A and B are shown apart, each in its own frame.
Chain A
Amino acid sequence: EDQVTQSPEALRLQEGESSSLNCSYTVSGLRGLFWYRQDPGKGPEFLFTLYSAGEEKEKERLKATLTKKESFLHITAPKPEDSATYLCAVQGNSSASKIIFGSGTRLSIRP
């Protein structure tokens, strides 16, 4: 069964303090690994797709990387507006379409 585990559950950082969020996954043939940002009461906002081990994607202060078992979302010099829940999700070859989500990491950036 496809599974996604994210850690830590919550992370509080000072503005400018870089860190990484982890996403471990088990999937029968990875079709894609996705990172989303979710603000309270809102829908997931698409950030990145990673397809194969070794791949990296960047957007502003965020950088996503992928290995065969996990993905990291690195946040460099975060700002308070980066505060949100970051969701990792996977789609495997056994599924025609569904995405399996992790529980997310609640990131809080203090000014």
Chain B
Amino acid sequence: EPEVTQTPSHQVTQMGQEVILRCVPISNHLYFYWYRQILGQKVEFLVSFYNNEISEKSEIFDDQFSVERPDGSNFTLKIRSTKLEDSAMYFCASGVRVPSSYEQYFGPGTRLTVT
């Protein structure tokens, strides 16, 4: 069964450093998403991406964040200058989003630890 994959599974970085989190969505999906989950808290929407542009973003997704689909298979989240409060699990998701199917399928996540 097709799955969303994410790398790395765990990233440790120092405050102020840049990180890139990578995702390979399910191959026939056209909509891509990033969510985050701070330990013990809700899963929170960050951004959605369709047709090579951002279609929606949350208040969390400020200028330190960016997304890119550098080729036909990868989808990346870049955090430019990490802060301690960016420590969280980051989940990539993908979906087809047709009227009969709005589901989003999630990857296993990248645990980001900022020290």
Residues on A lying within 8 angstroms of B by beta carbon are 31-32, 34, 36, 41-46, 49, 87, 89, 91, 95-104
B111 contact set on A, CB distance < 8 A: 41
Across the interface, do A98 and B102 meet the contact criterion of CB distance under 8 Å?
no
Q: Which of B31, B106, B108 contacts A97 (CB 8 A)?
A: B31
Across the interface, do A95 and B56 meet the contact criterion of CB distance under 8 Å?
yes
Residues on B lying within 8 angstroms of A by beta carbon are 4, 31, 33, 35, 41-45, 48, 50, 55-56, 58, 89, 91, 97, 101-109, 111
Q: Which of A46, A95, A98 contacts B106 (CB 8 A)?
A: A46
B102 contact set on A, CB distance < 8 A: 31-32, 49, 91
Across the interface, do A43 and B56 meet the contact criterion of CB distance under 8 Å?
no
In Å, the complex CA distance between A99 and B102 comes to 10
A95 contact set on B, CB distance < 8 A: 56
B56 contact set on A, CB distance < 8 A: 95-98
In Å, the complex CA distance between A32 and B97 comes to 11
In Å, the complex CA distance between A49 and B103 comes to 7
Across the interface, do A46 and B103 meet the contact criterion of CB distance under 8 Å?
yes
Across the interface, do A44 and B33 meet the contact criterion of CB distance under 8 Å?
no
Given the interface pairs A31-B102, A103-B42, the reply to whether A44 lies near B31 with Cβ below 8 Å is: no
